[in-house]
């Protein structure tokens, strides 16, 4: 979380697998609960442009991930595949309408402390993980309207405390490459696909 010194007051940026947002300095140096642990500190050299050649680095994201069928499940059922991959001509652009649905599982249940006055305090928040994500085409092209181009289950090595099947439809084995009959991808692949859809 490097400070940005161009403005009067130093600013900090918080980033993780889910979001990037500015935060106040008090939040940066405050660790009130055991679940808030710093994981990465990024430092940037002021003379980096003199030392490093950035001209060979890619200037935009690689869209190929949206055009290929990624799967790590050993027993995927071809008859259950409902999505149709995008073509380069269909690549989402600003203003492209799509529909996104996500399902989650709980890796850790919420732990509460109930006080004698009837109030409660969260000791540990529920820890959720993305388990399935679907993205459907909008009205263009008309012949493919509402046809999904992503319908991925997300592989996890974490122990799932609750599949939330009643809400998510996810069952034990759906996120395991040795048992799943669905298209299964790593979390990073799912994030990259979603990043390219905005």
For the chain, the structural domain boundaries read 12-51, 63-196
Buried b (16+ CB within 10 A) or exposed e, 112-149: eeeeeeeeeeeeeeeeeebbbbbbbbeeeeeebeeebb
Tokens 């652009």 correspond to 93
Name which of 91, 51, 52 is nearest 193 in CA terms: 91
State the pLDDT at residue 131: 96
Whether residue 141 is preceded by a cis peptide bond, meaning omega within 30 degrees of 0, is yes
Tell me the pLDDT of the chain (198 aa) as tens digits.
Answer: 455 455 556 578 877 767 778 888 887 777 776 666 666 777 888 888 888 888 888 888 888 999 999 999 999 999 989 999 999 999 888 888 999 999 999 998 888 888 888 888 878 888 899 999 999 999 988 899 999 999 999 999 889 999 999 999 999 999 999 999 999 999 999 999 998 887
Tokens 């790590």 correspond to 72
State the pLDDT at residue 105: 95
Q: Yes or no: say if 131 and 153 are a contact pair by the CB < 8 Å rule.
A: yes
Tokens 């442009």 correspond to 49
State the pLDDT at residue 33: 66
State the pLDDT at residue 126: 83
Task: Give this prediction's pTM.
Answer: 0.69
Please state, in angstroms and rounded to a whole number, the distance separating the CA atoms of residues 85 and 151: 10
Residue range 63-196, CATH number:
3.30.420
3-state SS assignment for residue 194: helix
């Amino acid at each position: 979380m490097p400070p940005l010194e161009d403005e009067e007051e130093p600013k900090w940026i918080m980033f993780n697998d889910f979001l990037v947002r500015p935060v106040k300095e008090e939040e940066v140096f405050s660790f009130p609960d055991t679940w808030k642990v710093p994981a990465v500190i990024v430092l940037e050299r002021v003379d980096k442009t003199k030392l490093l050649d950035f001209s060979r680095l890619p200037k935009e994201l690689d869209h190929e991930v949206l055009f290929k069928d990624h799967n790590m499940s050993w027993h995927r059922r071809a008859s259950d595949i409902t999505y149709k991959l995008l073509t380069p001509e269909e690549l989402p652009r600003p203003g492209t309408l799509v529909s996104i649905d996500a399902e989650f599982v709980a890796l850790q249940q919420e732990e509460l402390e109930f006080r004698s006055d009837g109030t409660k305090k969260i000791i540990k928040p529920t820890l959720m993980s993305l388990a399935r994500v679907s993205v459907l085409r909008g009205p263009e092209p008309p012949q493919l309207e509402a046809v999904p181009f992503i319908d991925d289950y997300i592989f996890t090595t974490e122990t799932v405390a609750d599949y939330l099947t009643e809400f998510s439809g996810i069952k034990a084995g759906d996120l395991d490459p040795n048992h799943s009959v669905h298209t299964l991808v790593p979390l990073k692949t799912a994030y990259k696909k979603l990043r390219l859809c905005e």
